[in-house]
Amino acid sequence: MLPSAVLCFLLFLPLSASEEPEELTVKPEQDVTLGCRALSDGAVTLLEWNRRDLKDDGYVFFYRNQRAYEKYQHPRYRGRVELRDPEMMHGDVSVVLKNVSVNDTGTYDCRVIITGGNESRKLIDLTVSDSGEFVETQRLPRRLTEKSK
């Protein structure tokens, strides 16, 4: 029989591992796709892209009621973020961030809710680097976490 502390650790291990951020590194002035996908093909009722350190000051991208709302965006992102696929086919809720700068470095949080209340989340650690020793890296996306309401 396992001690209760070990059992609790094992129960929470899969949840924390699935929320490990995808790492993405790009050069300044590039356009970058922040990838995110709903777990099923239902209609998207809410899509929020946040940057963790700017969360209270506005969204990176906000979509509800079948349209995007630029007025809820943080001023730094207005006019620079759009859906990669405006029809969000097959649950693709990725966004393109245009003309990135070192000020765009941070952890981005995608939260999508589809009809029926299923919620998916994904984290991306974006690094914008202008160093001469630049190497572009991108890990394969991890599975999204899902919550049912």
Tens digit of each residue's pLDDT (9 = 90 or more) over 18-31 = 468 999 999 999 99
Specify the CATH architecture of the domain 21-147. Sandwich (2.60)
The answer to whether 89 and 41 are in contact (CB under 8 A) is: no
Q: Mean pLDDT in the chain?
A: 81
Q: What is the pLDDT of residue 116?
A: 86
The answer to whether 29 and 128 are in contact (CB under 8 A) is: no
Locate 43 and state its tokens: 């209609």
* Greatest alpha-carbon span in the chain: 58
Q: What is the pLDDT of residue 101?
A: 96
The answer to whether 26 and 136 are in contact (CB under 8 A) is: yes
Domain assignments of the chain as residue spans, ordered by start? 21-147
Whole-structure pTM value: 0.75
Tell me how far the alpha carbon of residue 133 is from its chain's centroid. 27
Q: What is the pLDDT of residue 132?
A: 52
Beta strands in the chain (DSSP E): 22-26, 32-34, 44-51, 61-64, 67-68, 81-83, 95-97, 106-114, 119-128, 145-147
Task: Read off the pLDDT of residues 32-86 as tens digits, 9 standing for 90 and up.
Answer: 999 999 988 889 999 999 998 886 788 999 999 899 999 999 999 999 999 999 9
Residue type, 57: D
